Structure 1
Amino acid sequence: MATSDFVLGGLASVGATFFTNPIEVIKTRIQLQGELAARGTYVEPYKGIVHAFVTVAKNDGMLGLQKGLAPALYFQFIINSFRLSIYSEAMERGWMHDHKGEVSYGRGLMWGAIGGVVGSYCSSPFFLIKTQLQSQAAKQIAVGYQHAHTSMSDALRQIYTKNGIRGLWRGSVAALPRAALGSGAQIATFGKTKALLVEYDLVTQPTLNSFTAGLIAGSIMSVAITPPDVITTRLYNQGVDAEGRGLLYRGWLDCFVKIVRSEGVYGMYKGFWANYLRIAPHSTLVLLFFDELIALRTKYIRQ
């Protein structure tokens, strides 16, 4: 794969993350409130997206809306460097096209899932730390397990000192279904939608074409990714014992069963609208920025 595509994919995601991290903070808090408690039996410090924004700003300050930004940037750079460079390579080599030369949705799902799995595993320590920092809140609005990290570097040091390299990759395997479903749906939808918009002469202007396809891809991705995202958030944020074992969940399946039993199917879709409002614009911006950066690189090479 081209090194430049790898870097451009990472840069595209970094630019988008500055805008979408606040809604990621809100999404994480909503997913953690009422953990393993039946609906209606717990206090909800975050009653909807707008209320959550006001509550965080009031209790944690405006900077509280950008908690976990540093590890979020590292996470997004790494995962999207792999995802988008693999997507670009597959598209350029024709691996995403069928025998008729048309972009195949099925092949897009496969290559999107491969890129998501590789990127997710490599960036897992930063997702872990991002989640734990984003959940940190003032006592009166705290939800989920509260980790005593003061920064990204402090979190890296604490986790490594307590549980070694294994601790930094805790939950990484369980996060792979999230990455495969979300990335597969996004990449496949983006590539196919771009081609269809041009084929039917609906949106042919390059920038607007990328924007429209990215928005549609983000919408599909948010539906596919929310349940595994709830599970990943819970697994990454839970406390661990001296041996590094989770205090609440033993793994992905155990987490799923406990959520459904305690919170019902509703629990698997906690934070859906916050997730949608994060993913749709983030996906749109990442894919738009990536296409624009690719276009700039191509223009520069030709000059």
Structure 2
Amino acid sequence: MSNSAEESSSQPQAQQQQQAVVSTRPGIGAICKSLVAGGVAGGLSRTAVAPLERLKILMQVQGNEKVYRGVWQGLVHMTRTEGLRGLLKGNLTNCVRIIPNSAVKFLTYEQLSREMSDHYRATRGSGELTPALRLLAGACAGIIAMSATYPLDMVRGRLTVQEGRNQQYRGIVHAARVIIAEEGARALYKGWLPSVIGVIPYVGLNFAVYESLKAGLQKQYGLRDERELSIAARLGCGAAAGSMGQTVAYPFDVARRRLQVSGWQGARDLHSHGGNVVAYTGMVDCFARTVREEGMQALFKGLWPNYLKVVPSIAIAFVTYEQMKEALGVEFRISE
């Protein structure tokens, strides 16, 4: 009799626990609002640092002849040769790519971390994620978002590299058509492998470091809610996360850009050796030839302007995303 009573009492408890786990999942409205917030965050953060983004790419793909030697010199050179519009060249394409990329990335991270948290809450009683689990969720989110929007990144890279005297593509659609016609549809995924490998530590560390730093600050100052953290504190967490992730993943970003312009005649002025356009057979060949011909430091070309870009970009993206969701009335947050 007592056993049946215990079983009957444990069943409602299990059902309540299961309902509690299920109830944390957002509805369609919250998901749509989260996508909008992620898209706005991505577009705003990238537009704010568009000149530095273009300078980084130009420095990454140039060969031994240094056209762009530093941040200030590079920005001045772009302005003199192409005008103020040159500072924002490729930004529209970048926004077309980064808006869906950012939306998918933030939403995927939240859903993966939520599923993990619900699982541990149901099995272990605590739904708090460890830094390692946050890293895993961020890495998976980065891979999914990168793969879904990679052709746009490829086209954006080509549009960004071409200069005023060397115009081959007239826009996003035209560039995609020319690339497919001349190089085949697979060319839209040139550099995909190093991109995916690089995005694992980059996006993974971004989310893991950002969330862990915020959680640490909450505990240190006895805050009950992450929204009690000041915007300046969250910007600082985002800046630290972006810097750490970018440092680890940067060589893969260089390889991605070089593979994207591999064999392309439009990159002759920047990425050539002895007047011949460089063509790589794959990621390993790209790394090996770059180090052999230009030294190990070539894998970090453009890193300094990229720091200047990444620190405000990642910080703006995280804070804008959270502020947008709060303004839209979304009922769940990343670190909930």
TM range (shorter): 0.7 to 0.9
Q: Distance in 1 between matches of 2:129 and 2:170?
A: 47
What is residue 300 of structure 2 aligned with on the other side? 269
2:109 matched to 1:53?
A: no
What is residue 194 of structure 2 aligned with on the other side? 174
Q: Distance in 1 between matches of 2:113 and 2:232?
A: 20
Q: Distance in 2 between matches of 1:74 and 1:101?
A: 36
TM-score normalized with structure 1 length: 0.85
What is residue 83 of structure 1 aligned with on the other side? 105
Shift of residue 96, structure 1, vs aligned partner: 9.5
1:167-202 deviation digits (Å, cap 9, x = unpaired):
323332332112212111111111111111111119
**Deviating more after overlay: 191-200 vs 2-11:** 2-11
Q: Distance in 2 between matches of 1:114 and 1:174?
A: 15
Shift of residue 232, structure 1, vs aligned partner: 0.6
Q: Distance in 2 between matches of 1:299 and 1:275?
A: 32
What is residue 282 of structure 1 aligned with on the other side? 313
Q: 1:201 to 1:215 in 2, by over 3 A?
A: same
What is residue 257 of structure 2 aligned with on the other side? 233
Q: 1:226 to 1:113 in 2, by over 3 A?
A: same
2:62 matched to 1:21?
A: no
What is residue 292 of structure 1 aligned with on the other side? 323
Which has the higher Rg, Structure 1 or Structure 2?
A: 2
Q: 1:278 to 1:118 in 2, by over 3 A?
A: same
TM-score normalized with structure 2 length: 0.77
Match of 2:163 among 127, 137, 143: 137
Q: 1:124 to 1:52 in 2, by over 3 A?
A: same
1:108-167 deviation digits (Å, cap 9, x = unpaired):
11111111111111111111111111111245xxxxxx6711211210221233344323
Q: 1:95 to 1:129 in 2, by over 3 A?
A: same
Shift of residue 14, structure 1, vs aligned partner: 0.7
What is residue 231 of structure 2 aligned with on the other side? 207
* 8 Å Cα contact 1:214-1:283 kept in structure 2: yes
Q: Distance in 2 between matches of 1:107 and 1:264?
A: 36
Q: 1:202 to 1:236 in 2, by over 3 A?
A: farther
Q: 1:199 to 1:125 in 2, by over 3 A?
A: same
Give the counterpart letter for 2:287 in structure 1: F
Percentage of matched positions with identical amino acids: 24
Give the counterpart letter for 2:242 in structure 1: G
What is residue 258 of structure 1 aligned with on the other side? 289
Q: 1:54 to 1:240 in 2, by over 3 A?
A: closer
What is residue 30 of structure 1 aligned with on the other side? 59
Q: 1:96 to 1:128 in 2, by over 3 A?
A: farther
What is residue 117 of structure 1 aligned with on the other side? 143
1:95 partner SS: helix
Match of 1:12 among 26, 36, 41: 41
Give the counterpart letter for 1:58 in structure 2: R
Match of 1:69 among 91, 94, 108: 91
Give the counterpart letter for 2:298 in structure 1: G
Structure 2, unmatched stretches of 5+, are 1-25, 266-276
* 8 Å Cα contact 2:113-2:137 kept in structure 1: no
Q: Distance in 1 between matches of 2:193 and 2:68?
A: 30
Structure 1, unmatched stretches of 5+, are 35-41, 140-145
Shift of residue 91, structure 1, vs aligned partner: 3.9
Shift of residue 32, structure 1, vs aligned partner: 1.6
Give the counterpart letter for 1:235 in structure 2: L
What is residue 198 of structure 1 aligned with on the other side? 218
For this pair of structures, how many residues does the alignment match? 284
Q: Distance in 2 between matches of 1:117 and 1:184?
A: 10
Q: 1:181 to 1:299 in 2, by over 3 A?
A: closer
Give the counterpart letter for 1:175 in structure 2: S
2:180 matched to 1:160?
A: yes
Q: Distance in 2 between matches of 1:202 and 1:51?
A: 47
Q: Distance in 2 between matches of 1:172 and 1:61?
A: 32
* 8 Å Cα contact 1:97-1:103 kept in structure 2: no
Give the counterpart letter for 1:233 in structure 2: R
Q: Distance in 2 between matches of 1:247 and 1:55?
A: 24
2:205 matched to 1:185?
A: yes
